[in-house]
Amino acid sequence: MAEFEKVAKVSDIQPGEIKSFVLGNEMVAICNTDGKFYAFIDECSHQTLPLSDGLLEGKTITCAYHGAEFNVETGEALCLPAVDGIETYEVKIEGDDIYILLPD
């Protein structure tokens, strides 16, 4: 059964910022959009390059390498060259701690 795993502190990721973390066998990016945290696989679906290098504007992250855009809340691909979305993960905040639920 999947369990929440502590990843970071709320104070580690400022508004508008993206950070990457290793969770098990996955690279996971967490971003702060106006105090709300979203977690997603740190890998563009167009090519396997890190999304955490990209630009975050609101709930949209733009891949720094080829310009693909994704909604960080839903994982939906918003423009070419990406046609497939990205995996997103449930986030839980307890006090100053950020927890992520990775699937089994």
**How do the domains of the chain map onto residue ranges?**
4-101
pLDDT at 24: 82
Query: 58-98 pLDDT, tens per residue?
Result: 999 999 999 999 999 999 999 999 999 999 999 999 999 99
The third-level CATH classification (topology) of the domain covering 4-101 is Rieske Iron-sulfur Protein (2.102.10)
This prediction has a pTM of: 0.94
Strand order of the β-sheet with 69-71 is: 55-57, 60-62, 69-71, 77-79
